[in-house]
Amino acid sequence: MTTVTASYTEPWWTACWPTRRGWPPGTAPRRRSLLRTDTRARSPTKPSTCRTGWSASIDRMEDPGRARLAWSHGELPSAPRIRAFTVAMAGVAGFTDAVGWMTLFGVFTSNMTGNTSKLGISLGEGHFANAVSRLFPIPVFVVGIAVGAVIFEVARRMSRNPPIAVFLAIQAAMISGFMFLGLSMDVSTELERNSALFFLLTALLAAAMGLQTAALRRVGSIPVHTTFMSGMLLLFAVQAIGCIFAGFDRRRGEDPDESPPPDYSPEVLRFAGTIWLGFLGGAFLGSLGITTVGLWALGLPICVLAFAVVLDLRGNLVR
């Protein structure tokens, strides 16, 4: 039997950051590869070099002719409040994205895939003013992620973990700034596309979403995304198919000692689906709030972020 296993490793910069003496032994970037062949072994072995993204390992079994692909996502922490916090953050992202889309001429503040598609369409149609408004939030979003990554890297080199409250407080301040600036005028009639105020409002929400993306990347050993749902839908689909095939294996009476089950979990499946539902619910509440009370609706995600800040300061929410 042939078993193919894929597992996710930490990004290369977390394990291969150059020091003053150069790269750590055996981790030069020129040697990065997924697999290296050991001539003394019957199968390829994992490299000692730096790796990034999904890594694969192949084990040859005595029963050839069958193959299984196992996506290893690890385990979830047992604390329900950590999962609830993750879903709440997805709701905040969906809420903010909906508000931005409804007030900023259809610009997404967390869905950069949508902005990229609209950018290409606007360029193809010759609507260059629209293209500028679609392009602007993308680098701002990246800057927000970069700021969060810098905070993590600096804290790691100081041998400490930055509390998530730091990220949440900055994010809440940015969303509050957007709300009060928007309330100072009638954004539905006075705000002009590609004006200075338009770019400022867009930057506040896009940077806030980028910061959230950098702050919450993993729950336990599960990679999560709360500001865009493509990754969570991937996790949901892979886990769903894995659970179905695992059920078929159990019905056939397959010996678990001869064929170890892949790392599929109904718990992870439900978690991924709940995050998607949280984002959907946040977008629904955001659109409903804008149509009823206007930008005052942003008080809801601000309160959620403030509550999470208090929880983290008192009990280390995500650790």
Which domain-ending residue is among 42, 72, 102? 72
In a domain, 253, yes or no: no
In a domain, 219, yes or no: yes
DSSP string, 153-197: HHHHHTT-PPPHHHHHHHHHHHHHHHHHHHHTS-TTTT--TTSHH
Residues 39 and 178 placed together within one structural domain of the fold: no
Position with higher pLDDT, 58 vs 148:
148
CB burial of 277-286 (b: ≥16 within 10 Å; e: otherwise) equals ebbeebbebb
Residues 107 and 203 placed together within one structural domain of the fold: yes
Residues 48 and 185 placed together within one structural domain of the fold: no
With H, G, I as helix, E, B as strand and everything else as coil, classify residue 7: strand
How far apart CA 94 and CA 281 sit, in angstroms, is 7
For the stretch 115-128, pLDDT in tens is 999 999 999 999 99
In a domain, 255, yes or no: no
State the total domains in the chain. Answer: 2
In a domain, 33, yes or no: yes
Position with higher pLDDT, 298 vs 267:
298
Cα 266 to the center of its chain, rounded Å: 20
For the ranges 24-28, 101-105, 260-264, the lowest mean pLDDT is seen at 24-28
Is a pLDDT exceeding 80 seen at residue 6? no
Report the run of H or E that residue 305 belongs to, with start and end. Answer: helix 299-315
Cα 84 to the center of its chain, rounded Å: 16
Residues 291 and 188 placed together within one structural domain of the fold: yes
Give the residue-averaged pLDDT of 251-257. Answer: 62
For the stretch 224-244, pLDDT in tens is 889 989 888 988 998 888 888
How far apart CA 12 and CA 178 sit, in angstroms, is 35
How far apart CA 249 and CA 26 sit, in angstroms, is 41
Query: At a CB cut-off of 8 Å and minimum separation 6, what does 105 contact?
Result: 133, 193, 198
Residue 137: give the domain boundaries: 80-229+268-315
The CATH number of residue 168's host domain is: 1.20.1250
Quick one: pLDDT at residue 210?
95
Residues 61 and 107 placed together within one structural domain of the fold: no
Give the residue-averaged pLDDT of 261-277. Answer: 82
Residues 146 and 293 placed together within one structural domain of the fold: yes
Residues 197 and 98 placed together within one structural domain of the fold: yes
For the stretch 150-188, pLDDT in tens is 988 888 888 676 678 889 999 999 999 999 999 988 887
Closest CA to 239 of 213, 293, 275: 275
- Helices 80-103 and 266-293 meet at what angle, rounded to 10? 40
Quick one: pLDDT at residue 319?
52
Quick one: pLDDT at residue 147?
93
CB-CB contact of 58 with 44 (8 Å): yes
In a domain, 263, yes or no: no
Residues 40 and 91 placed together within one structural domain of the fold: no
Pairing verdict, β 67-72 and 2-9: parallel
Is a pLDDT exceeding 80 seen at residue 64? no
Q: Give percent above pLDDT 70 in the chain.
A: 70
Indicate the pLDDT class of residue 106, thresholds 50, 70 and 90.
Answer: very high
- The torsion region of residue 34 among left (phi > 0), alpha (psi -120 to 50) and beta comes to alpha
Is a pLDDT exceeding 90 seen at residue 137? yes
Indicate the pLDDT class of residue 266, thresholds 50, 70 and 90.
Answer: confident
Residues 67 and 117 placed together within one structural domain of the fold: no
Look up the pTM and report it: 0.71
Cα 26 to the center of its chain, rounded Å: 30
Residues 51 and 94 placed together within one structural domain of the fold: no
Which domain-ending residue is among 14, 44, 72? 72
Which domain-ending residue is among 54, 72, 90? 72
Quick one: pLDDT at residue 75?
52
Residues 8 and 66 placed together within one structural domain of the fold: yes
Indicate the pLDDT class of residue 217, thresholds 50, 70 and 90.
Answer: confident
Residues 31 and 91 placed together within one structural domain of the fold: no
Give the residue-averaged pLDDT of 211-220. Answer: 85
